[in-house]
Structure 1
């Protein structure tokens, strides 16, 4: 099996992976439809990955791991740890101390780390006990058991009237939660290349052998029980959702069902910030993501060109602060710092509609060695200001103007250990 580790916007060369894998990726890149997310872009003898991170498995078994491009050094372990931390927060994947300690000493790809965590959660469920439920059984039998199905019995042909159409309840582990876990186990058992993960997956599949595999994923997720006796199943649910339900780029919706956990980095960064800011917000304020309160223009009594800032901080009906998150490397000291003119046009519209032309807005970028402190303010006029501020992903700290923090937030914007494990 070939494993390729790269970062956002890196090129996959034809000689770097098996020809079958490269041909498959080329086909995917050429089949993208209008309006669909672009994951790959063709450049002659290479393919450039776009702003997606995660893991992609090809039909021939090649695993491509894509890590965030933010660090200035070539340190895949640090990038992998950063991505895992963000996934833990955004998708509520609760790591356990023993798991984190064991993974810290183990070299492995992101795929194997995620599989290990999932298998450990399933093992804990098995240790606590697989829950069963009453299942309605309908069958034809030579004796009456349970309840006779009168309508079906009347329609019995004469030659089979010595048999009874019956139904009864039987206490079985065939319930939605177990069916979904088995479906996820089947997926990871085919994708893992580590001997320990393969062994544990086989053992767990043997435990779940008598349970059918989920075929109607959405229906079974809607039946996932929140009752008290199912509390030990709760930690595994996000993992099962991640494996079976997570939205992936357009081309992964076809016949190939290998593990493909790909996340748009822009959306992941935005969601991570939203969760962090919401936790630290003063109780008198409210954080609104993707507000749709205003549009750019009115035409024939209809609102056109909706304005949707990433986040707004509101107090009652009044918007106090507009925030826009950008997953992009700024370079302090260069011409215009790498800022986008289109972003400022957009912010100007936000300021006029959401702040009535008076107030402050934040453009939030990840902190790098080239962008360690906030830039001098950008003034549209003497009443409307934009601050371009860095967010330190190592310390989970927003480096914004000192007078802005106590106005809106409880303390410095630090994600504590307990916050990470909610």
Structure 2
């Protein structure tokens, strides 16, 4: 057995490479770093019971990179988690999560040259910001309230009385200023600065990001902790849409950034569970949206609230519910991106879907998984007359094939019988 002195002599890795849902890796780590990872819900981290100074790290469904800086450990330890699906496929799924309009999915985001998620994301954001700013910074009207020596816009009479007690100057005014300091530009700057703080950005991409930050230098920076401003897609800001969607992924993704005491964790992570759920439900909704325009038939709702019991005390929110024109549910879907167990998919998913079918008065329910070893299956529930389908989508295929598989699921949904 290795002694504590021997363990302390083992070099601490500056970079840890893990793969999503792969077996645990045994690594020498400072206890402060191991405990930080264990408490952060980034990876499963447990101390090795046989070798002091070593930890067992296992990645779950979160992918990306984080840097952990602990007191007395010198340089930060970077943990990189690689997704099982190719990066280009991951960005295709991300498109459905960010922009249901399909406007940026068709080859607009170049990521094929990168094998790691974070460099690919940084490269894609920089390219889209560059495209957005080629015609100069977007301008718009910004509502401004201030104290001034001359009247501009309108006088805020109540504020003038409350603050100035009858004095004539300065004057409390409100006006709309035509400026580049608008929400769209602030979001782009915040995303660029966020990426510049993250570990593992390639030098050439970092250099280009610094150039984009310089172009946005006159825009007000969003202080860490402040809410991200809202923006609405319009004809006037159309050239910004793709850059803003990707910036949203940077700013609102499952990121880790905190520092209790001298300990700091800083990084960016995608939750593949959420990404897969968003893809499946949004792709299905778009399929029925297109059919509705053609035939005026079904309506799809995501995360629609229902209740299991008559007293409406047990709430449930299926990922996807399809409704007939009369508003009655006709199909239910739950998306499950998870590692399957050796003998098939988890039984708990079947129990959950049985509850959905019972409460919605449906004879069939549909579970959609990322493809594993188990093929499509259908289970007849005893004494209930309910059939639960399990569909498997192969994410490592061309987008056209993946969307064809979604179409096949949609065809089964419209034919779901009621009890």
When the two structures are superposed, what TM-score results if normalisation uses the length of structure 2? 0.72
Counterpart selection for 2:197 from 187, 190, 196: 190
User: Does residue 269 of the first structure (1) align with residue 261 of the second (2)?
Assistant: no
Query: What is the CA RMSD across the aligned residues, in angstroms?
Result: 3.9
* CA distance, structure 1, for counterparts of residue 348 and residue 317 of structure 2: 15
Q: Does 1:341 align with 2:347?
A: yes
Q: Shift of residue 182 of structure 1?
A: 1.7
2:134 is matched with 127
Say if 2:15 is the partner of 1:13.
Answer: no
**Residues 251-400 of structure 1 mapped to structure 2, 5 A cutoff:** 252=257, 256=264, 258-263=266-271, 265-281=272-288, 282-283=291-292, 284-295=297-308, 297-298=309-310, 302-315=311-324, 316-330=326-340, 337-355=343-361, 359-368=363-372, 370-371=373-374, 373-381=375-383, 383-393=385-395, 394=397, 395-396=401-402
What does the per-residue CA deviation read over 1:12-61, in whole Å, with 9 as the maximum and x for residues that have no partner?
A: 4333xxx46x733522424x6xxxx6743425222223222333333455
- 1:242 Cα deviation after fit: 1.7
What CA distance in whole angstroms lies between the structure 1 residues aligned with 2:387 and 2:82?
A: 34
Unaligned runs of 5+ in 2: 1-13, 49-54, 70-74
**Cα-to-partner distance string for 1:142-183 (whole Å, 9 max, x where unaligned):** xx68589895997899xxx9x976978765422222222222
Q: 1:65: which partner in 2?
A: 80
Residues 181 and 314 (structure 1 numbering): CA distance in 2 closer, same or farther, change over 3 Å?
same
- What is the aligned partner in structure 1 of residue 183 from structure 2? 176
Aligned residues: 367
Aligned to 1:418: none
Q: Which residue of 2 aligns with 1:408?
A: 414
1:130 Cα offset (Å): 0.5
Structure 1 range deviating more: 129-138 or 181-190: 129-138
Name the structure 2 match of 1:201.
209
Q: Contact (CA 8 Å) 2:43, 2:59: kept in 1 or not?
A: yes
Alignment partner of 1:120: what SS?
helix
SS of corresponding position for 1:13: strand
Q: 1:252 to 1:13 in 2, by over 3 A?
A: farther
**1:320-344 Cα shifts (integer Å, max 9, x gaps):** 222222223557xx7xx33333333
Question: Secondary structure of 1:304's match?
Answer: coil
Query: 1:363: how far off?
Result: 2.4
* Secondary structure in 2 matching 1:345: helix
1:209-288 paired onto structure 2 within 5 Å? 209-215=217-223, 221-222=229-230, 224=231, 226-248=233-255, 252=257, 256=264, 258-263=266-271, 265-281=272-288, 282-283=291-292, 284-288=297-301
Alignment deviations for residues 65-113 of structure 1 (CA, whole Å, 9 cap, x no partner)? 32344xxxxxxxx53233222112212292563653xx42x24421111
- 2:365 and 2:120 map into 1 onto residues whose CA distance is 38
- Using a 3 Å threshold, how does the CA distance of structure 1 residues 201 and 400 change in structure 2: closer, same or farther? closer
**Structure 1 pair 220/318, CA: closer, same or farther in 2 (3 Å)?**
closer
Q: Is the 8 A contact 1:289 1:309 kept in 2?
A: yes
Distance 1:3 1:147, change over 3 A: same
* Change beyond 3 A, Cα 1:177–1:401: closer
Q: Give the SS at the match of 2:312.
A: strand
Give the direction of change, closer, same or farther, for the CA distance of 1:328–1:172 in structure 2 (3 Å limit).
closer
Q: 3-state SS of the aligned residue for 1:232?
A: helix
Aligned mates of 2:234, 2:16 — CA distance in 1? 42
Question: Which deviates more, 229-238 or 132-141?
Answer: 132-141
Q: What TM-score does the superposition give when structure 1 sets the normalisation length?
A: 0.72
Tell me whether 1:48 sits opposite 2:58 in the alignment: yes
Superposed CA offset, 1:369-393 (max 9, x none): x23x423543434722122222222
Name 2:52's counterpart in structure 1.
none
- Name the CA distance, whole Å, in 2 between partners of 1:170 and 1:343: 54
SS of alignment partner, residue 266 of structure 1:
helix
Query: CA 1:11–1:131 in structure 2 vs 1: closer, same or farther (change >3 Å)?
Result: same
Choose from 27, 30, 33 the match for 2:36: 27
